[in-house]
Amino acid sequence: MYRYDEFDARFVKARVAEFRDQVERRLTGSLTEDEFKPLRLMNGLYLQLHAYMLRVAIPYGTISSRQMRMLAEIAERWDRGYGHFTTRQNIQFNWPKLRDVPDILDALASVEMHAIQTSGNCIRNTTSDPLAGVAPDEIEDPRVTCEVIRQWSSLHPEFTFLGRKFKIAVSAAEEDRAAVATHDIGLYIVRNDAGEVGYRVLVGGGQGRTPMLARELRAFLPKADLLPYLEAALRIYNLHGRRDNKFKARIKILVHELGIEEYRRQVEAEFARIDRDAIAAPAEEVSRIAAYFAPPDLPVRPAEDAAFERALKTDPAFAAWVAQNTHDHRAQGYRAVTVSLKPVGGVPGDATAEQMRVLADLAERHSASELRVTHEQNIVLPHVALAGLYKVFRGLAGAGLDAPNRGLVTDIIACPGLDYCALATARSIPVAQAISRRFADPRRQAEIGPLSIKISGCINACGHHHVGHIGILGIDKAGVESYQITLGGHAGADASLGERTGPGFAYEEVPGVIERLVERYLELRSSRRETFLQTYRRVGMEPFREALYEPAL
Amino acid sequence: MAKAFTTTVFAANDLIGGDSVYLGADAWVRDISMAEVAGDPAEAEALAARAALGERANIVVGVYAVDVSLADGTPWPVTRREQIKASRSTTIPVGPAARLDVAA
């Protein structure tokens, strides 16, 4: 994992001291709310429906046991004993008091964490593959690129006040587990015909009220050109991006309005003009960063483990969990584990302080003290030996963290919605809970197979509904919640945006609506191997629409 | 055409705690049933002016008017959003309480 150098530590500490002073001045009245608001947002502090909310950065989702324990301590000491892991691989605390926030930030700084640039119109946390450095199908660890971008984009004077927020994702694997095409800039680490490693650069993706998938800006960018090219791409956006209309301010609108060819022409012209050497990350600095992401020193293990095999045979719950929630590891005798934060009827992405400590302890004992937060609001233990898997499973089960549902119908992404969020127009969490309870039976979940349901409580789409196989958007209809359904969205390498089925449904109707869609899929699928998405792509919207709107005969 | 006047109370968030508060007869209150109700535009204007003082005095943040209906003279918001805000909590158990709820 990346460790702060002296500069990083000094910078974060100075920022906390500065914010402490700003909070003090706000509380004594020498700063008005209008003056204070941009300052608190720069430090990740929102004001929500019932309370302040502090969003803490977890760069590219990688976190140590020590840091996870600190999050647990913060949850207990200054919040209500839990936190919420987000789709940007961060964590949010929902109930901090304004006067306590500087102390929370000091506590975070003591374990090399902060909340800087988790809000505001700047470059946000760069997200990545939760199996980075582990997945057998990856070219190299994408987190090195993420960290280079993090250092370049932190307090970048030119890009601290963009027209709107800016999100970057990096993936280096064949399978896209980072929803790259839904980002303002998406980077795929690829190999060209000559065998050189570089970037395929996408631009102009995003969700929100005008969802768009990113377009290809450059088929191959040499690695050394990363920062100069990003700088050129951001500069063109910063110069032309709409500041007059918040809803048209994201780069996707600019790329759409200019056209990808014209945007590319301007970026390439700027790229040709600028002093690339002055902007590029020095090779020795990239090497220094890369060294932090060297694979952990895992003991050599045999490919099989007799005790593991025995447990698979004797404990069917374990076998089901292994089949659904573990992934191949590039090291022999190891697996990566997805810990589901979606127990039946639970709040997607929430973990109590006790659960955070269990995760920290298990990671310390069985995963080189490392954890990952996924954009699907789960946790990954990246390096678990086969011989330790059963112990990990039992440990998770004891904390209610053993749901064997990764990628299944109950593995639902949901934004905080109207239960917390000041912008929300409808509730998301109770809808997710009701669907989860409806499909609680693990055999039924397995029968249905891969199916992603994503729920947003307003048009801003924080719950990624546009790329859910089934997307649910909660809106306000004359003061009452109403839910629109979209079908066929997908966040992988073959990303697609969902299409709306038709008129919306009442809050109470949603679980039944999902059930009708799932039943129709089970009737339509050509075989058990054809997933919901494949069936939808084969048969189209009409049969599903009929299932929802045609009166029963 | 101007919107017909709806009975109104004034909501905000407490500066220090961030929790929802309402303008009461003498002070900002946490219980919406204790909020001062404006029954006509003139009363609403007077309450708005008093609420703005709370903002200027750095007691509250983000003052706005909330449409309410009255049951036995007690105000309750009309929209789902404001009902949830007035209830001062999530509509479902969360955190450690939710863990017990799921396990049960």
Domain shared by A202 and A86, yes or no: no
What is the CATH number for A459? Answer: 3.30.413.10
Per-residue pLDDT of chain A (553 residues; tens, 9 = 90+): 888 888 899 999 999 999 999 999 999 999 999 999 999 999 999 999 999 999 999 999 999 999 999 999 999 999 999 999 999 899 999 999 999 999 999 999 999 999 999 999 999 999 999 999 999 999 999 999 999 999 999 989 999 999 999 999 999 999 999 999 999 999 999 999 999 999 999 999 999 999 999 999 999 999 999 999 999 999 999 999 888 998 899 999 999 999 999 999 999 999 999 999 999 999 999 999 999 999 999 999 999 999 999 999 999 999 999 999 999 999 999 999 999 999 999 999 999 999 999 999 999 999 999 999 999 999 999 999 999 999 999 999 999 999 999 999 999 999 999 999 999 999 999 999 999 999 999 999 999 999 999 999 999 999 999 999 999 999 999 989 999 999 999 999 999 999 999 999 999 999 999 999 999 999 999 999 999 999 999 999 999 999 999 865 4
What is the β-pairing status of strands A499-500 and A505-506?
A: unpaired
Q: Which residue has the tokens 């377009």?
A: A215
Q: Which residues share a beta bridge with A212? A: A206
Handedness of CA A470, A474, A475, A480 (dihedral sign): positive
Would you state the pLDDT for residue A36? 97
CA distances A284 to A13, A148, A190, A224, A291, Å, are 26, 12, 22, 12, 11
B78 — contact with chain A (CB < 8 Å)? yes
Domain shared by A249 and A164, yes or no: yes
Q: How far is B11 from chain A (nearest CA, A)?
A: 11
Widest CA span in chain B: 54
- Return the exposure string of B45-73: e unless at least 16 CB atoms fall within 10 Å of the residue's CB, then b: eebbeebeebbeebbbbebeebebeeeee
Q: Which residues share a beta bridge with A384? A: A335
pLDDT at residue B2 is higher than 80:
no
**What three-state secondary structure class fits A456?**
strand
Domain that holds residue A464: 413-549
Domain shared by A171 and A241, yes or no: yes
Handedness of CA B27, B31, B37, B43 (dihedral sign): positive
**Residue A284: CB atoms within 10 Å:** 8
Domain shared by A285 and A310, yes or no: no
**What three-state secondary structure class fits A55?**
strand
pLDDT at residue B14 is higher than 80:
yes
Whole-angstrom Cα distance, residue B9 to residue B24?
Answer: 9
* Count of structural domains within chain A: 4
Q: Which residues are CB-neighbours of A532 under 8 A, at least 6 positions away?
A: A448, A449, A450, A451, A469, A470, A518, A521, A525
How many angstroms from the chain centroid is the CA of residue A225?
Answer: 26
- Please say whether the beta carbons of A428 and A416 come within 8 A: yes
Domain end residue (candidates: A362, A397, A432): A397
Domain shared by A283 and A147, yes or no: yes
Average pLDDT in the B1-13 region?
86
- Please say whether the beta carbons of A498 and A471 come within 8 A: yes
What is the β-pairing status of strands A379-385 and A470-477?
A: unpaired
Phi then psi dihedrals of residue B78, to 5 deg: -85, -40
- Note whether residue A301 is domain-resident: no
Average per-residue pLDDT in chain B?
92
Q: Tell me, what DSSP letter sits at residue A220?
A: E
Query: DSSP secondary structure string, B70-98?
Result: EETTEEEESSHHHHHHHHTS-SS--THHH
Q: Do A480 and B80 touch (CB under 8 A)?
A: yes
| Closest residue of chain B to A345, computed from CA coordinates | B102
B79 — contact with chain A (CB < 8 Å)? yes
- Find which of B99, B100, B101 to mutate to test the A interface (most A CBs within 10 Å of its CB): B99
**What three-state secondary structure class fits A266?**
helix
B3 — contact with chain A (CB < 8 Å)? no
Domain shared by A154 and A285, yes or no: yes
What is the CATH number for A78? Answer: 3.90.480.20
CA distances A341 to A266, A293, A385, Å, are 44, 26, 22
Whole-angstrom Cα distance, residue A185 to residue A64?
Answer: 27
Kindly list the residues from chain A whose CB atom is less than 8 angstroms away from the CB atom of residue B85. Answer: 49-50
What is the β-pairing status of strands A505-506 and A480-487?
A: antiparallel
Whole-angstrom Cα distance, residue A34 to residue B56?
Answer: 11
Whole-angstrom Cα distance, residue A417 to residue A316?
Answer: 36
Would you state the pLDDT for residue B3? 67
- Note whether residue A114 is domain-resident: no
Whole-angstrom Cα distance, residue A151 to residue A301?
Answer: 36
Domain end residue (candidates: A397, A422, A446): A397
How many angstroms from the chain centroid is the CA of residue A537?
Answer: 25
Q: How far is A478 from chain B (nearest CA, A)?
A: 8
Q: How far is B42 from chain A (nearest CA, A)?
A: 25
pLDDT at residue B1 is higher than 70:
no
B6 — contact with chain A (CB < 8 Å)? no
B104 — contact with chain A (CB < 8 Å)? no
Whole-angstrom Cα distance, residue A19 to residue A33?
Answer: 14
Token pair listed for A221: 């960018």
Token pair listed for A396: 């998770």
Domain shared by A314 and A283, yes or no: no
Domain shared by A139 and A258, yes or no: yes
Would you state the pLDDT for residue A282? 95
- Note whether residue A73 is domain-resident: yes
| Closest residue of chain B to A416, computed from CA coordinates | B90
Q: Which residues are CB-neighbours of A14 under 8 A, at least 6 positions away?
A: none
Domain shared by A259 and A148, yes or no: yes
Would you state the pLDDT for residue A241? 84
Secondary structure of A449-461 as H, E, C letters: CCCCEEEECCCCC
Token pair listed for A138: 């990856």
- Please say whether the beta carbons of A334 and A384 come within 8 A: yes
Token pair listed for A75: 């949850």
Domain shared by A251 and A310, yes or no: no
Q: Do B98 and A426 touch (CB under 8 A)?
A: no
- Note whether residue A54 is domain-resident: yes
Average pLDDT in the B51-56 region?
96
Question: Which residue ranges make up each domain of chain B?
Answer: 8-103
Collect all residues from A whose CB is shorter than 8 A from any CB in B.
Answer: 26-29, 33, 47-52, 80-82, 94, 96-99, 343-347, 350, 352-355, 400, 418-420, 424-427, 429-430, 433, 476, 479-481
Q: How many CB pairs under 8 A join A and B?
A: 103
Domain shared by A262 and A362, yes or no: no
Kindly list the residues from chain A whose CB atom is less than 8 angstroms away from the CB atom of residue B61. Answer: 33, 47
Domain shared by A469 and A426, yes or no: yes
